[in-house]
Amino acid sequence: MIKPNATQHYLQSILMKHRAGYFVLIDPDQHTVSSCARLGELAEASGVDALLLGGSFLTTGLDPIVESLKKATKLPIILFPGSALQLSRNADAILYLSLISSRNPHYLIGEQVRAAPLVRHMELDAIPTGYMLIEGGTSTSVSFMSGSAPIPRDKLDIAWAHALAAQYMGMALVYLEAGSGAKLTVPSEMISEIKDILEIPVIVGGGIRTPSIAAEKVEAGADFIVTGSIIESNPSLIEAFSDAIH
Ligand code: 1GP
């Protein structure tokens, strides 16, 4: 049985060890069971700290992918669900997301209520996470699927007020999301402003395509960096990302 908060403790230990942590996001729709296992092995060998699994919209089940990843790697597998349908009992933890930049109650609390009994039944380690969409220069799946407008890039005050609200509401993490495949990453100035006032760790993802951009986001204050699309297309970059982030 998973100890409560075991994954949060692990994430804290990463932050004690490195200046920031590195998550690789796996989109199950882009993989076969075996290609996913190969990516998991490569990620572990390249110094990645954890795997995120999920997406805004999935056309496949998670269980076979999680099982194959568990055999291939010891890295924690953290669900990053677009809905209450994206659960799997063999994962280690779940980012228990509330889309706090939205005003759509379904993604603020509706999906969370649907998922809660199942998360308990599956004994998943739930990590309460305030999830914020930031305008990334293109329309994204998460914005479309959730019917939510992202926070404008230049509205730093609106962004940091959301992050602070997440902290006051008891979230363990804040995730600043430009959206998968975003043209523009979360602005470094926005990350810095948020980190100046926040005590909880900040995850930054969406559109990060080079190790130097990842390092720039860490310099700005990101505690964890997520890359998805670039690693799907160019897995050989994992180690360079890992080095740049750590
Ligand atoms: C999306 O933040 C992640 O949820 C990763 O985005 O696919 O653009 O790396 P990319």
Average pLDDT over residues 2-8: 74
pLDDT at residue 2 is higher than 50: no
Q: In this predicted structure, what is the pLDDT of residue 4?
A: 57
What SS3 state is found at 196?
A: helix
CATH of 6-245, one of 3.20.20.390, 2.40.50.140, 3.40.630.30, 3.40.720.10: 3.20.20.390
- To test ligand 1's pocket by mutation, which of 174, 186, 227 has the most ligand atoms within 8 angstroms of CB? 227
CB 191 within 8 A of CB 219: no
pLDDT one-digit tens code per residue, 106-160: 999 999 999 999 999 999 999 999 999 999 999 888 899 899 999 999 999 999 9
Total-model pTM: 0.96
- In percent, the amount of the chain with pLDDT more than 90 equals 91
**Average predicted confidence (pLDDT) for the chain:** 95
Q: How far apart are CA 112 and CA 193, in angstroms?
A: 29
Confidence bin at 95 (pLDDT 50/70/90): very high
CB 81 within 8 A of CB 142: no
- CA-175 nearest atom, ligand 1: 2
- 116: CB partners within 8 A, 6+ apart: none
CB 20 within 8 A of CB 223: yes
Ligand 1 contact, 226 CB (< 6 A): yes
Average pLDDT over residues 22-51: 95
- CA-232 nearest atom, ligand 1: 7
- Calculate how far, in angstroms, residue 226's C-alpha sits from the geometric centre of ligand 1: 6
Q: How far apart are CA 206 and CA 25, in angstroms?
A: 10
CB 71 within 8 A of CB 43: no
Q: In this predicted structure, what is the pLDDT of residue 168?
A: 98
- CA-177 nearest atom, ligand 1: 2
Ligand 1 contact, 228 CB (< 6 A): yes
| Residue 52, H or E segment | strand 50-53
Confidence bin at 3 (pLDDT 50/70/90): low
Confidence bin at 196 (pLDDT 50/70/90): very high
Q: Strands 202-205 and 125-133, how do they pair? A: unpaired
Nearest to 78 by CA among 111, 40, 47: 40
Q: In this predicted structure, what is the pLDDT of residue 42?
A: 97
Radius of gyration of the chain (CA): 16
pLDDT one-digit tens code per residue, 42-63: 999 999 999 999 987 888 889 9
Ligand 1 contact, 111 CB (< 6 A): no
- 56: CB partners within 8 A, 6+ apart: 82, 140, 141, 142, 144, 145, 146, 180
Q: How far apart are CA 47 and CA 23, in angstroms?
A: 10
Q: Whose CA is nearest to atom 4 of ligand 1?
A: 180
Q: Domain boundaries in the chain?
A: 6-245
